[in-house]
Amino acid sequence: MSAKNYFGILNLNKPKGMTSRQAVSKIHQITKPSKAGHAGTLDPLATGVLVVCLGQATRLIDHIQHSQKTYRGKFILGKRSDTDDITGNVEEVTSSISCSQNDVETILKQFEGEIEQVPPRFSAVHIDGKRAYKLARQNKQFEIKPKKVRIDSIEITNFSLPEFELEIQCGSGTYIRSIGRDLGNELGCGAVMTELVRTRIGPFQLSDAIDPNSVTENNIDSCLQPAALAVDHFREYLCHSMDMKLLKNGCTVPCENEPQYQDGETIRLMKSEIDLIALARYSEEENRFQPYQVFTSQLDIDG
């Protein structure tokens, strides 16, 4: 097995039926002992973008998880489920559904913005130190408190009763299943999610995603994307060889450009246009960068 020191990101297209953990494990078999971790879990029912970070790039997972996400979800009215999707125990509520697309659009407007959302009972949220889905499987009685989530936009992309499709742009922690459930409750007829595709997380698009089963030890290098993409919303500063020596020794890095950054601003320190070596905060008073996350594995590699 290769002992190569990996540092980068894989944009995977997770297939239906595979857990996020199984997708990461497939990659880890190739990259170990380098770490592999994913940003943003997808349920087995869901497909689409699953971002896997390798090596010290796993320290960037939080940045990816908090990026805006885009989903396409399919739903069917007239049903309810204990999982809020088609994989659970589905209850037929009614076959007589008379709402219009305009009715649905009107209700969906109340879900936009920052809202309080109750996660599904079958979810990974913690209830007194235990995962909700484990309690639900044991038929335990428990309450899930609502949490704040941000939904930037919801658009109906297909409407053919009793089914409809939504495209949703949202922030971290949003449950798409819950949107369908709550919409169904507002309509009084119930609704469950039947399909879900994540088409984007931040800069990572479904059109560029690859099948995890296609990644091998021979082609993984060509599949890797730069770790810098995970923090591409930060401005950058190109370092010189002396700067890299300073970073190795835990020192601050002088800014040789005309001051153009704001005090306290997070900056990507780069050794080339694509190679990230540290994240730092700019000090206006000293005109220097104060690193708080240094990717030491990259400091010994020629840029």
Q: Which sequence positions are flagged as catalytic?
A: 43
CA–CA separation, 96 and 246 (whole Å): 70
The DSSP bridge pattern shows strands 266-270 and 235-238 to be: parallel
Tokens representing residue 208 in the block:
């560029």
Beta strands in 161-190 (DSSP E): 163-170
The residues, any chain, with a CB within 8 Å of residue 3's CB and separated by 6 or more, are 33
Radius of gyration of the chain measured on its C-alpha atoms: 22
From 56, 67, 47, 55, select the one nearest 27 (Cα to Cα): 55
| Overall size of the chain counted in residues | 303
CA–CA separation, 203 and 231 (whole Å): 9
CA–CA separation, 79 and 91 (whole Å): 6
Answer for the pair 241, 221: CB distance below 8 angstroms, yes or no. no
Helix (H, G, I), strand (E, B) or coil at 26: helix
